Amino acid sequence: MAIGVHSVPPFVMKDRDGSWYGLGVDMMKALERSLQLDYHFVETAPGDMVAKVADGTLAAAIGPVPINARDEAVIDFSQPYYSGSVGVALRIVDRLGPRFMLELLTSRAFLYMLGLLTGPVFIIGALIWLLERRANPEQFEPRPARGVFSGFWWATVTMTTVGYGDKAPVTFSAGCWRCSGCSRP
């Protein structure tokens, strides 16, 4: 019996000696052992696979045969063993380098996530600075640029539970919301 194949790594691939291998071929070999089938592979264009199975030229086809209602009306499909969208696999050693890292660090997705993570911390830090700048100028400087950075640093250290303790609010409105059971007046 003729089995149509088309090279689609890692499911069906052709070796230098002309033999076929891959996940789909391995499944066919397992069927051969279980059902004692006698078959041979025939390289077939992906667009011809359904028609050749439907007209009996091929007993089955392995490879890029997407399941759809039109083709389901003329042939039977096995249970899908892979479902997904387009994927790309690269050797990591081919991609790692300064250019790749720069592209990664300047990508829209990375910058968006960075904003989502640092935006709230910056806002909380700025609020702490507004509350602390007069009562605690040693730790939260009155000058906006340095003071807001001090608030940002405090918020980052507090929210990540690193807790250096080098900055601490002293006012009731800024300090007591962060702890419970405070005995301060």
- Contacting residues for 43 by C-beta, under 8 A, at least 6 apart: 4, 5, 6, 7, 14
pLDDT, tens digit, 9 for 90 and up, residues 83-131: 666 666 666 665 667 888 888 889 999 999 999 989 999 999 899 889 8
In this prediction the pTM is 0.43
Angstrom distance (rounded) from CA 50 to CA 39: 18
Instruction: Look up residue 181 and give its two tokens.
Output: 């059971």
pLDDT in tens, 20-70: 999 889 988 888 888 888 899 999 998 899 999 999 999 999 876 778 889
Place of tokens 């910058």: 111
- Checking DSSP bridges between strand 20-21 and strand 13-14, what pairing results, if any? antiparallel
Instruction: Map out the domains of the chain with their CATH numbers.
Output: 2-72 (3.40.190.10), 98-176 (no CATH)
Question: First vs last Cα of the chain: how many Å apart?
Answer: 90
